[in-house]
Amino acid sequence: MTTPTFTPRVFSGIKPSGGLTLGNYLGAIKRFVQMQEEDFETIYCMVDLHAITVWQDPADLRRNTRELAAGFIASGISPEKSILINQSQVPEHAQLGWVFSCVARMGWMQRMTQFKDKAGKNAQNVSLGLFGYPALMAADILVYHATHVPVGEDQKQHLELTRDIALKFNHDYGVDFFPVTEPVIEGAATRVMSLRDGSKKMSKSDPSDASRINMTDDADAIAKKIRKAKTDPDALPSEAAGLENRPEARNLVNIYAALSDKSVDQVLKEVGGQQFGAFKPLLADLAVSKLSPISDEMARLMNDPAEIDKILARGTEQAREITAPILKKTYEIIGMVG
């Protein structure tokens, strides 16, 4: 059997189940934008079918999906360079998802730690979709024969499952059809933590709005949240080792480094010795200068949902040129009569 070569192709997705935060931007979207400039075809997806594993108010789902699309575009995902889609509109995702539900084993799924965490004691009462979710995620990726998937650390196990599904499919049908996907895992350095508690991830579901910077926040809100961010009383150290056991200080320095495309050590060389009273205004200025153009553009796009929908409709067409032949071939391999 000859091993086919696969086009270097990136796929990643974000759930439209709430507003976008600085954590999504620095942890994922900024990376997605960079990968457009590398030697990859890039496909980015609003995974609305994943969002409904937990009930979503229909009006919220519509708004969040368009807000996410606006966030992608405003951050620099170009519809000229990337395919931007809404998962439900490309039916091959769900179709291949069913096939993979028949490839994945119960035992594999039962090991998924994210399911165990999310279901908790309530496991009998969550949706079947929440349990099967990783099979659909594998389909999202493999329906494009994607080779590289940028995700956060929390998705690593789902990517391993994606590889297991690809390998089992290939083995069971004696083919070399689905590629073994490379995870591109973001390091802890780009994990953005809560502005109120440096040990918790910045989250769209935190009850305190002051704990996060929303991608829709205007310049005033951004500056105010940074001024009020929790810190400790000490001056900033001049090297990274000095941030140990100072989670809030580390978080603000990490944010500064990520926004300015510098390393933490470079930043500390510049600001080491400063008190937060001096550092916070620098960080606020930087954050406003990088983020408020994005939030302004998001606001403009959100006022023009027809433009967003047009971009997504074009993305659907481009996506299906890839997904329809791959699904067709999958069905042939399995023995479905066409």
> Which residues here bind ligand TRP, judged by CB under 6 A?
11-13, 15, 47, 50, 137, 140-141, 149, 151, 155, 158
Given the residues 116, 156, 200, 204, the one annotated as active site: 204
Residue nearer to ligand TRP on the CB measure, 67 or 140: 140
Q: Shortest Cβ distance from residue 138 to ligand TRP (Å)?
A: 8
Minimum Å gap between C-beta 192 and ligand TRP is 15
**Contact, 150 vs 166, CB < 8 A?**
no
CB of 256 to ligand TRP, least distance (A): 25
Active-site residue identified among 81, 168, 201, 262:
201
**Shortest distance, position 45 Cβ to ligand TRP, whole Å:** 7
Options 118, 168, 230, 262, the catalytic residue: 118
Amino acid at 250: R
Question: Six-digit token pair at 209?
Answer: 């709005």
Residue 104 CB burial class (10 angstroms; 0-12, 13-18, ≥19)? buried
- For ligand TRP, the closer of residues 11 and 256 by Cβ is 11
Largest CA distance in the chain: 71
Q: Which is nearer to ligand TRP, 210 or 326 (CB)?
A: 326
Identify which of residues 97 and 237 has a Cβ nearer to ligand TRP in the complex: 97
**Nearer to ligand TRP among residue 56 and residue 155 (C-beta):** 155
Sign, CA torsion 71/76/80/85: negative
Q: How far is the CB of 89 from ligand TRP (least distance, A)?
A: 15
Indicate the helix (H) or strand (E) that contains 44. Answer: strand 41-46
Residue of minimal Cβ distance to ligand TRP: 13
Dihedral sign of CA atoms 137, 211, 218, 259 in order: negative
271 close to 309: Cβ distance less than 8 angstroms: no
- Cα–Cα distances in Å, from 312 out to 119, 293, 305? 32, 22, 11
In the complex, what is the shortest distance from the CB of residue 149 to ligand TRP, in angstroms, rounded to a whole number?
Answer: 5
Torsion of Cα atoms, 299 then 302 then 303 then 309, to 10°:
150
Is 118 annotated as catalytic?
Answer: yes
- By CB neighbour count within 10 A (0-12 exposed, 13-18 middle, 19+ buried), where does 102 fall? exposed
Which helix (H) or strand (E) covers residue 13, if one does? strand 9-14
State yes or no: is 121 an active-site residue: no
> Measured from the CB atom, is 133 or 279 closer to ligand TRP?
133
Catalytic residue positions, numbered: 118, 201, 204
